[in-house]
Structures are given as C-alpha cells and as structure tokens.
Structure 1
Amino acid sequence: MNLFRLIITSLLRKAVDTESYISTLHELCLLCERDIHDSDTYSAYKVCPYCRFHYTLSARERIKLISDHNSFRESHKFLSSVAPLSFSNKKQYQELLSISQTKTGLTEAVVTGRSKIEGLESMLIVLDFGFMGGSMGSV
C-alpha cells in the first residue's frame, strides 16, 4: 500500500502546476505600494525594484532561478512525508499532508537534486514554504 501511495503522489507531483499556488502577479508592491507589474526585476526574481522587498518563491521557482538552464536533476522524488511523532490527532495531520501535497505538487517540504550553478556541479536542498510552512516531517 505504501509503494502504491508513493507512485500516485509522484504522478500527482508531475501533473500539478507547482507554481500556481504561490506565483501571484502583483500590480503594486506589498511593502512600498509602488507599481511593479511591468518591472523586469519583479518578473524575473520576485523582488521589488524600489524597496527590494522579496516575495515568496516556490522551491521550483528558486531552483529555476539559481540553476543553469535545464541542469537540475531531482533526486528522492519518491519520498513522502509521514506523521513523525505520535500526535494525538494523526488523522488531522494526514489531512494537512494531503492538502499540502495537492496544493504544491510535492510529496514533502523539501526538493533535492543535482544541478549546475554557473557550470559548477552542485547538490541542492530547497525547502518549500508552501508545504506546511516548510515543516519537515519523517520519510
């Protein structure tokens, strides 16, 4: 049953638009309230060009931003979070996991893999705040 769950969540991970839950285009900066919708800095980096306010990036957006083009190769994508502690309400925790998995397309809060950054082979471990606030469980 656990293997079946891992396969299904992996397929869902590929099918869900993982950037849709966090990539909101803003007309005005949330901090300084200046117009940013036409800004190249905001479009490329999710940073206000005036006050340097940094907007939240999904793990995939951050990986795309720092990695050389098409160099990221994900590892451990079949790992899935489970209830790490003996919570009094495990069912509620499982529901939160399920909601986060559906919302983000991830099976856990962290995305790992190999990538090149300016030609240098690197290992990336990126937390996604959209998955239960970046909370790490057990796998």
Structure 2
Amino acid sequence: MNWINSVVRPKIQRVFNKRQVPDNLWRKCPSCGEMIFHRDLVAALNVCPNCDHHMRLGTKERFDSLFDNADYQIVQVDPVPVDPLKFRDQKRYPERLKEARAKTGRDDAVTVAHGALDGVETVIAIEDFSFMGGSLGMAAGEALIKGAETAIEKRAPYVLFTAAGGARMQEGILSLMQMPRVTVAVQFLREAGLPFIVVLTDPTTGGVLASYAMLGDVQIAEPKALIGFSGRRVIEQTIREKLPDDFQSAEFQFEHGMIDMIAHRHKLRETLSRVIRLMTHRPRGKAQLTANLPATTQPEAGAEKA
C-alpha cells in the first residue's frame, strides 16, 4: 500500500468526516439577545434567565408543566371536513395543513387534555401558535367545544390557553361561525356552575380575543404577552394618534382593567391551583404545587416556614 492510501487519504477523510455540531444547541433571546443553552431553556420553561422574557411554549411542554407528574389524557375530537371551500391561494389548503401537521406533530391548532392539577380533575385546552398561527378553524372550534363538553361531563373546571392570530381565512364563514359556537359552549359551562379560566399568552389577537378569549370567569395573562384586536399601525392610522409603547401588552391591559392578573410562567401552575380551589370551594393542596416546576424555581427547604 502506497503512502497516498495509507497517510493522505485517511487525513482527508478525517477532515471531511468531522462530527457536525447541531445548530440548535443555543437559543438567542429575542428580547435581550442573550445566548441560552437549549437544556437550560427547556428547564426554565422557555423563560429567559437573564431578562425574564417569556418565549412561546409548545403544547406538550405546557401540559407537562401543569398536570400532576405530567400525567394526562388527550381528549379525542371528532373529525371535520378537511377542505370545505376548496380554497387555494399560493398553495392548496390541504397542502398547508399537511405541512403544519408535519411541522408540529399535531392534527390542528387546539389540543385538549384532562388530568389532575394539584389533585383537582381539570380540563385544559391549548392553542398552539406554531400551527398556522393558532388560527381558528372548524377543527379548532370542535376541539374547544369538546373540551367544554368533557368539563361538563367530568364536573371539572375548564382552563383555556389562547395564542392565536384570529380566524382561519381558508375556511371563510365556517371559521367565523366557530366563535359563536364556542361562546355558546362557554354559556353551558356557566349554567353547569363550572369555572372557565382563560390564560392569555403571546400573542392573542383578532377574532379569538374579540369572542371567547375574553369570556373567562378569571382572565390571566403571561408577562408582556401581546393582547389586542387590530394591529398597532391600523389603529394609529384610524385614530390618527400615536399609541403608547406598551400598548396591547399584558401590563397595559391589566392597568386598564381588561384582565384580572398577570402570572409568571413558573408560578402559573400554583396560581391556577389557587384560583380553581377558590372557585370550587376545595381546600388547598400543598404537596403537588411545586412538583413540575423547574429546579431553579423550587422553594428552598424551610422557605415556607420562614
């Protein structure tokens, strides 16, 4: 064997066969620009440890952080027509759905689950903004209504996490009809005497905000979440005035009485537990409250006594 095969070729192969480092090990905070190691970010529930900016959180991660021991059951939703209007823009609507499903691993924007939250059977629905902007379509509306029916069946409180850009244009009037349908489902919850709690996350806008997202018995928001109907530019051009810098933020809405409270994501589970127990007249449970929190947020030994 000559020196080319024994020396030169192995060196060339080592150069081109170097292990590629994944490009998703670090995430840049969109608020402060801090680079965060992906495992640290996951442990912190996508909250920046430097500036406390709340990044968007996936459906599974949110379920895991809320239910006791991350134990819950997904509620199955009846299928709806895939493309009732045969809509086509740059792509056919079924193609867009296929891409969104492949990207998120979910059938549509809303997922409903039930399980114990601090020992109380609770139904939780989550709108996922990564699925076509969390837009409200027939499948999403059916899921929200199924969540209300499940809550009534189980005599359980219903918690809704909103994150949407409004109605889904590919379904036209059929999408808009989901808003009154969900509103009626909320009324059924009220008649059954069951709590309906809404958690507004970033962003909650458009027709979703104008309908069922503002019908909660208690309105909670995550810090600095975008909450509003129309965009800033549209409003400024309409009223011909300059809007405040924090306009449509959770803090602005709280100051003006649109929401009841702002809860940090690390304390959201405890907040929901307290609200649910107050509304259902159940004694507070202490054993489960911190079970799913990131390690950095767990109270130190003896802190409760202090």
Structures share a fold, TM > 0.5? yes
Please give the alpha-carbon distance, in whole angstroms, between the structure 1 residues aligned to 2:76 and 2:38.
Answer: 38
Q: Which amino acid aligns with 1:89?
A: R
Provide the C-alpha distance between the structure 2 equivalents of 1:70 and 1:47, rounded to a whole number of angstroms.
Answer: 19
Partner of 1:71: 71
Do the aligned residues in 1 keep the contact of 2:87 with 2:93 (CA within 8 Å)? no
After TM superposition, what 4+ stretches of structure 1 lie above 4 angstroms from structure 2? 38-42
Cross-structure match for 1:13: none
Count of equivalent residues: 115
2:88 is matched with 89
Distance 1:57 1:48 in 2: 12
1:98-128 CA distances to partner (integer Å, 9 max, x unpaired)?
1111111111111112021111110011111
In structure 1, the residue matched to 2:49 is: 49
Aligned residue for 2:33?
33
Counterpart residue number, 2:113: 113
Deviation track 1:5-64 (CA, whole Å, cap 9, x = no partner) reads xxxxxxxxxxxxxxxxxxx55354221123432885663311012211111111111111
Q: CA RMSD in A?
A: 2.7
Greater radius of gyration (CA) = 2
Change (3 A) 1:96 1:88: closer
- Higher helix proportion, which one? 2
Report the identity percentage.
31
Supply the distance in 2 between the matched residues of 1:39 and 1:103 (Cα, whole angstroms).
21
Q: Using a 3 Å threshold, how does the CA distance of structure 1 residues 61 and 78 change in structure 2: closer, same or farther?
A: farther
Gaps of 5+ in 1: 1-23
C-alpha distance in 1, partners of 2:113/2:79?
Answer: 13
In structure 2, the CA distance between the partners of 1:34 and 1:102, relative to structure 1 (3 Å rule), is closer
Q: Which amino acid aligns with 1:48?
A: C
**Distance in 1 (alpha carbons) for counterparts of 2:75 and 2:42:** 30
- CA pair 39-110 structure 1, distance change in 2 beyond 3 A: closer
Tell me what 1:10 maps to.
none
Q: Is the 8 A contact 2:72 2:114 kept in 1?
A: yes
1:99 aligns with 2:99: yes
Deviates more, 1:36-45 or 1:57-66: 36-45
Is 1:129 the equivalent of 2:129? yes
- The alpha-carbon distance between structure 1 residues 102 and 35, as it changes in their structure 2 partners (threshold 3 A), is closer
